[in-house]
Amino acid sequence: MDHARFADRDARGVLDVRHGPEALDAITREGFWAVVATFEGAVTAVRFAEVTPRSYAVGPGLARPPAPAVGWEPLDRHWRTSLDRTAYVGAVGEVRERIAAGSVYQVNVCRVLSHQLRDDADLDGLDALLRQGNPAPHAARVRCDAADLDVVSASPELFLSRRGGRLVTRPIKGTATTAEEMLPKDYAENVMIVDLMRNDISGVCEPGTVSVDELCALETHPGLVHLVSTVSGQLRDGVGWADIFAGAYPPGSVSGAPKSSALAAIRDLETVPRGPYCGAVGWVDADAGEADLAVGIRTFWAERDEAGRRWLRFGTGAGITWQSDAAGEWAETELKAARLIGLAAGTVTP
């Protein structure tokens, strides 16, 4: 059954499905919408009739949800990767060469893992499993057959929050297994992306209102720690979601800086589209003037290939700077994927 589930609310009863510019226009006008945007910029919005608050929230240190109501058969760990270790290490080297040439100074290089999926596998079971075993502040489940959406996200990263006229973004840059293992490179990378995000939202905010409210705060999540910063601003009157996306999309933390050069490098080096991974997943309540859109990291989605076979996809990546060690960046992609893939495979228990 079509539905959407977020950290603090559930939605049912599909009223409308919009795509592309029509989606951005619709979520600005009225109604409650689940939103999934691919990294490449394809936006899908699903309007729901019934929205109910959840009796609990999930996240680090918060209560876990009840046991799954829908089962999940563990996968057998035969995962394919769009970039193997050799190819990924080569991509890191290419980014460093571009940095040395002065065309870019940070690029997020990603790979997509794929596992063939049975036709009757229900991602509701995977969603419940992740909410138990990897609680996340921006967890989301969006299923709508008419929109061809089947997404489960355990994202820890806020792309954009809106409350009335206030716009907030909380980019994550810097990942390690413990706080003590965080490198100077991680802090420098975070500051780069904070500067990028300040610039991205300044085009839709009142002059002088964009501020860095928190810089490089340490945040703990299952199996790893992140550096997280908070940037906010006051939206100009009359700004809609088309304007916001034009200025800030795709998220800077998963593209790089300067963004245009980073996106060119990504097109050259990555072999498959990212899809919902590194895009945006969340909700917009146009009536209330509120929204929470997460960066689509720690995200699974199901789709069919040209032969009709069903696949479960999962993306992972790392930010590359001049200081990057190629082997270390590959290890970071493994660290980010390990717990989530382990839960899906049954090798990690909730």
Residues involved in catalysis: 157, 173
CA distances from 266 to 39, 146, 236, 248, 292 (A): 11, 30, 32, 17, 26
DSSP notation for 254-286:
GTEESHHHHHHHHHHH-SS--TTTTSEEEEEET
Q: Say which amino acid occupies 121.
A: A
Which DSSP letter does residue 64 get?
P
What is the rounded CA–CA span in Å between residue 298 and residue 340?
7
Question: Exposure of 237 by Cβ count < 10 A (0-12 exposed, 13-18 middle, 19+ buried)?
Answer: exposed
Rounded to whole angstroms, how far apart are CA atoms 240 and 235?
Answer: 9
d(CA 350, CA 74): 13
CB 125 within 8 A of CB 280: no
Contact 266, 40 (CB under 8 A): no
Q: Amino acid identity of 150?
A: D
